[in-house]
Amino acid sequence: MIRYFLYGFLCLWQLLAYNAASAQATYDWTGAVNSTWTTAGNWVVTPATASAIPSAATDKIRIGVTRTFTNQPTTSTAVTCDSLTVGTANVVALLNNPLLTIPSAITLTINNTFTVNSISMYHGSIGTANTRTTFTLVGTGSVTCNGNVQIGNNTSPPTGLIIGIGALNGTVYSRLSAQMPTFNIGGNVYLNSTGNNADGVNFPEFMLDNGNVTIGGRIITQNTNTFSGTQASPTVAIRGLFQLDNSATNTTSLTLTNNAAINEPIAAGQVIDFTNNGTSSCTVIYASTTGSQTVYSGVTARIGRANFTYDNLTLTGPSTKVVQGNYTTGTPGLTVGGNLLTQGGAVNMLTNGSQIQVAGNWTNSAATTQGAGDIDINGFLSTSGTLTLGAGNLYVAGNYTNSGTFTYGTGTVIYDGTAQTLLDNGNGTTYRNVNFTGGGTKTMSAGNFAVAPVGILTMSSSSVLNVTGNFTLQSSTTSTASVDAIPTGSSITGNVNVQRMLVGGNGKAANGAYTARGYRMLSSPVQIGTSRLYALNYIGLTALTGGPGTGFTVNNSNPTIYLYREDVTPSNTTFNSGKHKGILNINGNLVDVSGGPTGISVPIGNGYIFYFVGNTTNPATKASANPTTGPENTIITATGNLNQQNVLVSLWYTPAGATGGTTGKLSFNSALGTSAGYNMVGNPYAATLDLNSVISTNSSATGIQNSIYVLDNVNPGQQYVVYSPAGGSSPRANRYLASGQGFIVKAKAANSTLTFQEANKAVASQPSPLLMGIPLATQNGPTGLYVKMERDSLIADYCGVYFSGSSSANFNDEDAKDLDGTSSQIYMSSYTADGVRTAVNHMPDYVNGSRVRLYINTSADGIHKLRVEDVRNIDTLYNIWLKDKYKKDSLDIRRYGTYNFNVVRSDTATYGGNRFELVIRRKPLPPYQLIDFAAAKTTEGIKLNWKTYNEGNFTGFTVEKLQPSTGQYVPLYNQQSNSKTNYAYTDLTPQKGVNTYRLQQNDIDGKITWSKPVSISVADDPTPTIKTNLISVYPNPAAAMINVSVNPQTPANGYTAKIYNYTGAVVSRQKVNGNNWTQDVTQLQPGTYIIELNKADGELVGRSKFIKR
């Protein structure tokens, strides 16, 4: 029994001893002996029974809170405590700032709160306001705070005289300076600012002056009580400051791991400054590992104090980093004064559309996505990750290196440095839009670069782009990359690969022919070196070619590539016997031409014809006359120096009609009559060509006609489509031609020339190129129509017929002769009065009736159709009849649209130029009648009403008024009829006495008649209170604003201002004060108006007339 009692007593004694040892103790540093942490004489401990020096994780340590100290503490062993609180009790005796030194390999661990108090931290000379003391963590060891760091407390600074300092209502500071290699904070950093409701404030300040700080929680700013200080701008701190790096020579970093590392909004008057006013070199690292982490930018008003948001910025870790947007529209959001490093997970610049500016370099190994904001890199850009661009632009002033994945956006990549090197050893760099500017030479030294089919390359500011055969302008079935107009002083050097997509397909016509198989009229956008010549061997690298000699995919007697000679008499015996001259041999860059010459290259600006059957695979299935396979989509790639600046076309043969040398002359064989002067040329640029611009810049007497002929490959009949600014031959006529497209122009006379210019480019307009077979949407144009002959939905041909009062019925330069296509199956033309068969025919005005003879032909018997399409600006009062002389029949084709007829080849009367005629004549109209014209007095003036029958929308009305002083009628009002029968007009300013009016009527034929006059009397002084001279309106006439001025003798107690139109309807009403004001009349239709003023009691002040232009 005694043994059990003794055992229980022993356990109780041990428990009490343990509790005593583990109870929290508070240690105040005095530094009475020296600076050593483990010297017992340097501490005052409460309770006195606790250990003489801090040793337990539950200990609370205070430095300068209630005790003075004479030596600064230095730890000599690892320390773990519950909390650390810092103050400066009686610190004046130290004559310097307090600091805690933690030597190498020693760690100070704070389990809960690290507090830097404020109210006791005064330091400075007597009488000095705005005093401050800094507590500094120094050494080569480390500090870990598992809880929060709190700078400042909720104690208000005193008002009046500060005892011991002599300052009046000054700013007192709580400052923590971190200068440790490692300072880890697991919780939040609080900046607590307390005002004294006057002009004194407790100013908390966290300074990372050297070393590295990691914050796992958030930076939280808090204000208590008011402070009367004013903030010059949101980036000027007057109540608190979180600041990095006071020296540009230190290696400093701040790591933020919380997904929302800054508590927003930042308290008023406090600022988070990651740059020390732009003078430091600190790196801020966002390193969240899960979820999405916010990267703060200028959208947070009190982040950043000068020039930049960050000195250096690193986004790392597997989480997604979401960059905030711009502070205000048009201002940069995130600015970096040094370098940007993005690595690890995803970097999202898309969601908020932030604008990014980096003064240094950007290295990317993350999956980075741009948004609508621009990214501006003043140094190099090196990306080994995924870089996906967005709607914003990307500016790069330094070198560019890509070893990852680059995806273009809808914005532009702009290289704006001087000497820049572009290197790609990744998946290739393809741009949508790219601009080389800033002068100097940009060199694509290695890798693969391209401009996408929808993209545009722009050169500017005397810049040079040097490529080494690794740069491609891509083409697709719907678009092709373009090079914008290259200004003088800029250039692109080296070999460029320029693609042209030839669209294939397995669709078949009714006769079984593949519709995509046929001739293409092409040209080359590159040249061999600087020779101004191009080779034709590039075609056969990807597309199947044929010919009797060498250099083709297959050998056959009929060539598949042809040049064109204007000076040869047309012949239909064989394809080679006429103007088309086949290529017999291809030997490298040289070719032999049927009929000579041999061993030539083709000058740039010449076109050629290529019979397209598909790519080089399975030639046996495509090369025969009855192929079993349709042509595939095939890209042909011309490689060489881009054609740039002016291109004067020199033909590949000696042109007819040229004198004084043949270089730069078009051919004009006058012996061919109206068939003289047709030359095959080609778009020499890697860009869309504006035909209007080409025609305009070559419009001299020795230039070209207005009509451009393009071979239509969509229809298997292979007709020429004519484009002219005054109207085309079919709805497929297109103002714009694609890169690599050939066409035919007509020289005006002997010695004519054709020069292409950079200004002829229209890169913003991707044409509906006939090369690619995409029809052009119908557009409104000049007065006229298309006549279409159709065998089926695929085999058809058009001609265009136009009408104008200035046109001649005979053939002249505004007309376009019909050139039969290379393998036409249907022919549709119209004749001029002098018998020229045209694709585009301009005739005199149709208003007095018009007859146009048509030509039709076809290669096969059977039912065909004639249609009239896209009738433009021909008045609906006119019928359009198709007269069939063979059938002795006619049809209102405007109404019914289609006429079916049969062609029998053995009966020449069923086709040709004598069967059909287009007849335009006016419909019979019912007689116009004026039923009544009357006048009546109203409160607004004299209202005139008239009633008509059958006026339609083609009768003009003019109300005229007799002027007693001259005996002449003057017009008051004009109106076009609208089939409404009843019309009216109010004369708002009748004259006293008799007012006489009549109505002038102008019918569709221009015949003018007048009604009988009507008269109505007005009393001598019907409105004695009305004084028109009291109101002045100017300017008069007016286009946008009128100024209204009332005679000052009129009381200015406010008016109601009403504006009446010619019918007497109120179109504007407003209240005005004063005798002068302006009024917007922009929305009023042109015409005559009356402004009327009434006083507040309704009394009429006066009226005045003005005219709206």
Q: How would residue 731 be classed by pLDDT, with cut points 50, 70 and 90?
A: very high
Q: How would residue 330 be classed by pLDDT, with cut points 50, 70 and 90?
A: low
Helix (H, G, I), strand (E, B) or coil at 1096: coil
Interval 619-640 mean pLDDT:
91
Q: Hunting for tokens 């031609």 — which residue is that?
A: 737
Q: Hunting for tokens 């999956």 — which residue is that?
A: 367
Q: Would you state the pLDDT for residue 512?
A: 82
269 vs 680, higher pLDDT:
680
pLDDT tens, 804-855? 999 999 999 999 999 987 677 899 999 999 999 999 999 999 988 999 999 9
Q: Would you state the pLDDT for residue 717?
A: 66
Q: Are 97 and 63 in contact (CB under 8 A)?
A: no
pLDDT tens, 763-777? 876 554 434 333 333
- Residues with Cβ within 8 Å of 876's Cβ and at least 6 positions away in sequence, in order, are none
Q: For residues 735 and 731, what is the distance between their CA atoms, to the nearest angstrom?
A: 11
Q: Which helix (H) or strand (E) holds 696?
A: helix 691-697
Whether the pLDDT of residue 306 is over 70: the answer is: no
Q: Would you state the pLDDT for residue 132?
A: 59
pLDDT tens, 341-389? 999 999 999 998 889 999 999 999 999 999 999 999 999 999 999 999 9
Q: Would you state the pLDDT for residue 1029?
A: 61
* Strand pairing class (346-349; 320-323): parallel
Q: For residues 350 and 367, what is the distance between their CA atoms, to the nearest angstrom?
A: 12
Q: Would you state the pLDDT for residue 170?
A: 64
Q: Are 772 and 516 in contact (CB under 8 A)?
A: no
2 vs 195, higher pLDDT:
195
Q: For residues 757 and 655, what is the distance between their CA atoms, to the nearest angstrom?
A: 22
pLDDT tens, 990-1008? 988 999 999 999 988 889 9
> How many Cβ atoms are within 10 Å of 243's Cβ, its own excluded?
23
Per-position b or e across 91-129, b if 16+ CB within 10 A of its CB: beebeebbbbbbeeebbbebbbbbbbbbbbbbbbeeeeb
> How many Cβ atoms are within 10 Å of 1096's Cβ, its own excluded?
11
What does the DSSP assignment read for 646-687? -EE---SS--TT--S--TT-----GGGGGGTTEEEEE--SSS
What does the DSSP assignment read for 749-760? STT---EE-GGG
Q: Could you tell me the CA-to-CA distances from 760 to 460, 497, 530, 685 in Å, in that order? A: 17, 22, 21, 10
Mean pLDDT comparison of 148-162, 218-232, 685-699, highest-scoring range? 685-699
Whether the pLDDT of residue 939 is over 70: the answer is: yes
Q: Could you tell me the CA-to-CA distances from 1008 to 301, 1004, 1012 in Å, in that order? A: 74, 10, 14
Minimum mean pLDDT range among 252-256, 546-550, 1100-1104 = 1100-1104
Q: Would you state the pLDDT for residue 349?
A: 94
Helices marked H in 753-809:
none
Q: For residues 415 and 463, what is the distance between their CA atoms, to the nearest angstrom?
A: 10
Q: Would you state the pLDDT for residue 872?
A: 94
1024 vs 37, higher pLDDT:
37
CA angle 16, 22, 24 (to 5 degrees): 120
Looking at the chain, the whole-number percentage of residues with pLDDT higher than 70 is 88
SS (H, E, C) 335-360: EECCCEEECCCEEEECCCCCCEEECC
Whether the pLDDT of residue 161 is over 50: the answer is: no
Tokens encoding 998: 């009549």
Q: Which amino acid is at 143?
A: V
Q: Hunting for tokens 């505004």 — which residue is that?
A: 814
pLDDT tens, 216-229? 999 999 999 988 77
Per-position b or e across 981-992, b if 16+ CB within 10 A of its CB: eebebbbbebee
Whether the pLDDT of residue 130 is over 60: the answer is: no
Interval 774-798 mean pLDDT:
76
Q: Would you state the pLDDT for residue 572?
A: 64
Query: What's the chain's Rg over C-alpha atoms?
Result: 45
Q: Would you state the pLDDT for residue 714?
A: 63
Beta bridge partners of 124: none
Q: Hunting for tokens 């059977």 — which residue is that?
A: 862
Whether the pLDDT of residue 468 is over 50: the answer is: yes
Closest-CA residue to 76 (of 101, 41, 59, 110)? 101
Please state the φ and ψ torsions of residue 868, each to the nearest 5 degrees: -110, 125
Interval 1042-1069 mean pLDDT:
78
Q: For residues 327 and 865, what is the distance between their CA atoms, to the nearest angstrom?
A: 66
Whether the pLDDT of residue 1023 is over 60: the answer is: no
* Strand pairing class (647-648; 518-522): unpaired
Q: For residues 516 and 529, what is the distance between their CA atoms, to the nearest angstrom?
A: 34
Q: For residues 368 and 315, what is the distance between their CA atoms, to the nearest angstrom?
A: 10
Q: For residues 729 and 706, what is the distance between their CA atoms, to the nearest angstrom?
A: 13
Q: Are 930 and 958 in contact (CB under 8 A)?
A: no
Looking at the chain, the whole-number percentage of residues with pLDDT higher than 90 is 63
Whether the pLDDT of residue 5 is over 50: the answer is: no
Minimum mean pLDDT range among 12-16, 81-85, 553-557 = 12-16
Q: For residues 178 and 183, what is the distance between their CA atoms, to the nearest angstrom?
A: 8
Q: Which amino acid is at 525?
A: P
pLDDT tens, 507-539? 887 778 888 899 999 999 999 999 999 999 999
Q: Are 331 and 324 in contact (CB under 8 A)?
A: no
Q: Could you tell me the CA-to-CA distances from 743 to 683, 721, 772 in Å, in that order? A: 8, 10, 15
Minimum mean pLDDT range among 474-483, 501-510, 711-720 = 711-720
pLDDT tens, 415-426? 999 999 999 987
State the pTM of this model: 0.80
Q: Would you state the pLDDT for residue 511?
A: 77
Helices (H) and strands (E) in the chain, counts: 3, 89
Tell me the average pLDDT of the chain.
Answer: 88
245 vs 608, higher pLDDT:
608
Q: Number of C-alpha atoms within 13 angstroms, CB side, residue 1001?
A: 24
Q: For residues 743 and 728, what is the distance between their CA atoms, to the nearest angstrom?
A: 15
Q: For residues 13 and 18, what is the distance between their CA atoms, to the nearest angstrom?
A: 9
ω into 597 cis (within 30 of 0): yes
